[in-house]
Structure 1
Amino acid sequence: MNESIFITGAGAGIGRATARLFAEKGWFVGAADRDAEALEALRNELGADRCSIHIADVTDSPSVTQALAQFAGHTGGRLKVLHNNAGILKVGAFDGISPAVHRSVVEVNVIGLMNVLHAAFPYLKATPGAQVINMSSASASYGTPDFASYSASKHAVRALTEALDIEWEQYDIKVGDLMPPFVNTGMVQSNEGQSALFDNMGINLTAETVAAAVRDQVRKPRLHRPISMQFRALWPITRTAPIAVTRTVMKRLWRNG
């Protein structure tokens, strides 16, 4: 069996682009998503010898456990890379978004992530040199207006990444995250017009660019991997500048660019 990667949210966007890239490189891909039709199309494209598909909702722990067990049946119980890609986004003024929608963002982006991590751990532990690659965000660097619950969820992803990178080191599992700004996917497109930040910062990344960053992370793991020249330049500043400075920059980007 070739090296194996399990990808959540593989039916579209970054997940699909990552599945394609790794299959092209000879990896066996486990593709998980809620969208059965999208998964069937992906398997038809990649071939059943290079891809297994798993209908799963990350917020439903039993379905996640079942999906990973099925995947492990194809790989001899091994899992080299877990790419926690599944996530949702809702943009707008905090008070204009219902509590139910805010809850959904947190349940998918945080609780869903925890469910997958728990279910995947035995297979990661059984694989020498295993890796976890979580999808964080540039919005994890500072609380982002119009993205309040999403930004909060990505701060949680960042914290989980940092904690597990320490906890799981003893098992030879590296844990890191990717931190892209806006990526031109359906998830972002469906929220365009809901914040001036889209216009002021631009939607310049493609799903394929982020998929390539997943590959780079496998080759050279980092705890946090900022993506795009713009954010790679800003990331050190957000970590060292006084909070008042970062707040002022964020406020200007939000209001008028």
Structure 2
Amino acid sequence: MKTILITGAASGIGAATARRFAREGWRLGLLDINSDALENLNKSLGGQHWTHQLDVTDDAAVSAAIKAFSEFSNGTLDILFNCAGILHIGQFEDIAMADHARIIDINVTGLIRMSMAAFPLLKQTPGARMINMSSASAMYGTPHFASYSASKFAVRGLTEALNIEWKAHDILVQDVMTPFVKTPMVEKQTFRAPVIERLGVNLTAEDLADEVWKASTSSEVHHLVGLQFKTLAMANKWLPAIFTRNMMSVLSH
């Protein structure tokens, strides 16, 4: 039976992905800072999966979580899904410095911590892979998402670099790049960015769970979600960069 370890598993895309892989018969490792929601999710899945409360900004806690999961999984890990992340939408200067820093610490440094800690398990599991939750905002800096966009650029770069490095260890590293998704993280935002108003929120967490499943069976490094984003990415690839810049300017007003 294959195993997947999911960060940010208690709600949104993480929880939907847990349900999707559980339906496929996988054993789940579920990590989140919200332990109550995590236990409720596990109960809804039959209670046989492994759960652990975790703050991905805590080095010692990450190491301890991986050690405990290794005992549950007998030292193997087929997929690490780095899904934990936070978002603050607004004018750059109106967002507190502490919030900018926390975006980077969770979305980037937290992902690096998990990757480092889980590497030995991935390395000793044939055909293992790591899937990172990225965003359409990793293609071009998105107004009112500045720090979040920067964090996803970092995720994209890390994904590409580690996919090359870890090929020697039979580990495929991928990311899932998606437009806006209807999740609690997006819905709780008090600032409504013009780009959201113009493009809409057309995807659900369940849609993304299906995309993560598709990514897990493909060899693509970047798994792009949705026709709208795929079209934009194609235009960005073949047209001058000024096209994307002008389009982002239009969407942000």
Q: CA deviation at 1:229?
A: 1.2
Name the structure 1 match of 2:11: 12
Name the structure 2 match of 1:45: 44
8 Å CA contact 1:86, 1:109 repeated in 2: yes
TM-score, normalising length: structure 2 = 0.98
Q: Distance in 1 between matches of 2:55 and 2:244?
A: 36
Does the residue aligned with 1:32 lie in a helix, a strand or coil? strand
Q: Distance in 1 between matches of 2:47 and 2:2?
A: 15
Name the structure 2 match of 1:71: 69
Q: Distance in 2 between matches of 1:186 and 1:196?
A: 19
State the Cα deviation string for residues 178-232 of structure 1 (Å, max 9, x = none). 0000000000001254311111010010000100011101111311011011001
Q: How does 1:78-117 map to 2 (within 5 A)?
A: 78-117=76-115
Q: Out of 152, 159, 166, which is 1:161 matched to?
A: 159
Deviates more, 1:66-75 or 1:81-90: 66-75
Distance 1:196 1:226, change over 3 A: same
Q: Out of 244, 247, 250, which is 1:249 matched to?
A: 247
Name the structure 1 match of 2:21: 22
Q: CA deviation at 1:48?
A: 3.1
Name the structure 1 match of 2:120: 122
User: Percent identity, aligned pairs only?
Assistant: 47
State the Cα deviation string for residues 132-183 of structure 1 (Å, max 9, x = none). 0001100000011100000000000000000000000000000010000000
Q: Distance in 2 between matches of 1:241 and 1:188?
A: 30
Matching residue's letter, 2:223: R
TM-score, normalising length: structure 1 = 0.96
Unaligned runs of 5+ in 1: none
Does the residue aligned with 1:91 lie in a helix, a strand or coil? coil
8 Å CA contact 1:192, 1:198 repeated in 2: no
Name the structure 2 match of 1:213: 211
Matched, 1:3 2:18: no
User: RMSD over aligned Cα, in angstroms?
Assistant: 0.9
Matching residue's letter, 2:6: I
Matching residue's letter, 1:225: H
Unaligned runs of 5+ in 2: none
Matching residue's letter, 1:29: L
8 Å CA contact 1:125, 1:171 repeated in 2: yes
Matched, 1:240 2:224: no
Name the structure 2 match of 1:222: 220
